[in-house]
Amino acid sequence: MASRFEQYESIYWVFTQLCNDTCAHCYNDSGPMGKRITTEECLAIVANLPARLGRLVLSGGEPLADLRKLHAILDAVRTRYAGATQIMLQTNGDLLTPERLDEILALGVTRFDVASIDRFHKHQGERRAVLEDLFRSRGMSGDLPDPLIEKETFVQPGRLTYGFWGANEQMWLGGNWARGQAMKHDNWLRDGRHNFCAILSGGKGFLGGTDLPQELSIQLWKINPCCPGTREPMGDARVEKVSAVLERMAASEIMNKINEGDPYGMGASLGISREKGVDRAVALENVCLWCDEFFSTHYDIKKLAPR
């Protein structure tokens, strides 16, 4: 029987952590020495994605810093989905040229998000006017609101669009998780009551059935319910069907709590009250650190069993 997860709404895939910049708030340690996987591994991951996919967000790192790999992925995605999947590219914009834009548009990307309009990126949006002129010269529209966040706009088939955004105190930086460069630079949000898990880049909705788009994150090859990722991944997209991994997770009461956007309460079935979860997150000063503690101490995500 085909998995119900062979039809899925959105996947956010960091296929490379190679980047031309090093930012103090980066959660996945991207930079000039950032981790990479091979092109062959990337193509295996494309083959393991759900059969029908609403959108694929390709990110990094900086995707344009790993250009040949990006082209190979786009070619494979175009072949597999025949234009039925919206492909979005998240970039800092530093390496985007007219020639590269034309190549990427020809390979099926219909949305560009320049995610560098904040104080952490090297150029801090100084290319914005140049890039906006470039996008408009290709007939692209910049009037689409919050496509990465709002369920009503998360897929826009048939439109060529672009947007500019970055980390800010209200949104991404406002929920900065204790990961990567942010952890190394002591730049993470010290507020255990701030529940980043309950927004789109968190775990809420990865199994579906919520008010948010159904979305998971693949960090290189690691299948996660959220962008920060659980301490160990849910599965390996190089060798496992994403839909099969989700079927396994859907049988777990713990993972269903993450799907509800309630990491504080994920230990209830193990006798760990939600109040205890809140207390630990507050003591650790970050909900991601509570999640790490929970999976390292109380629950084995590989076995889906108590430790």
- CB-based burial label for 18 (10 Å; 0-12, 13-18, 19+): buried
In 3D space, the residue among 70, 43, 48 whose CA is nearest the CA of residue 59 turns out to be 70
Render 130-154 in DSSP notation, one character per residue.
HHHHHHHHTT-B-----TTT-GGGS
Asked, for residue 69, whether it belongs to a domain, the answer is yes
Supply the pTM of this predicted model. Answer: 0.94
Asked, for residue 212, whether it belongs to a domain, the answer is yes
pLDDT, residue 172, reads 62
- Count of beta carbons in the 10 Å neighbourhood of residue 143: 8
pLDDT, residue 149, reads 64
Asked, for residue 258, whether it belongs to a domain, the answer is no
Take residue 80 and report the two structure tokens written for it.
Answer: 């597999």
pLDDT, residue 221, reads 98
pLDDT, residue 169, reads 60
Q: Which domain holds residue 172?
A: 4-250
Asked, for residue 203, whether it belongs to a domain, the answer is yes
Asked, for residue 279, whether it belongs to a domain, the answer is no
CA dihedral 21→172→170→280, nearest 10 degrees, is -130
In 3D space, the residue among 247, 252, 279 whose CA is nearest the CA of residue 264 turns out to be 279
pLDDT, averaged in runs of 10, over the chain (307 residues) = 90 96 87 96 98 95 96 97 94 94 97 83 81 96 71 73 77 74 88 91 94 94 96 98 98 98 97 98 96 97 96
Those residues whose C-beta lies under 8 Å from the C-beta of residue 26, and which sit 6 or more positions away, are 19, 120, 180, 181, 182
Please provide residue 9's backbone torsions phi and psi, each rounded to the nearest 5 degrees. -85, -45
Angle at 49 between CA 214 and CA 171, to 5 degrees: 35
Asked, for residue 224, whether it belongs to a domain, the answer is yes
Asked, for residue 49, whether it belongs to a domain, the answer is yes
Asked, for residue 304, whether it belongs to a domain, the answer is no
> How many structural domains are present in the chain?
1
22, 31 contact by CB (below 8 A): yes
- CATH code of 22's domain: 3.20.20
| Tokens 């996660």 -> residue | 224
pLDDT, residue 147, reads 63
pLDDT, residue 96, reads 95
Rounded distance between C-alpha atoms, residue 147 and residue 112, angstroms: 11
Rounded distance between C-alpha atoms, residue 19 and residue 209, angstroms: 35
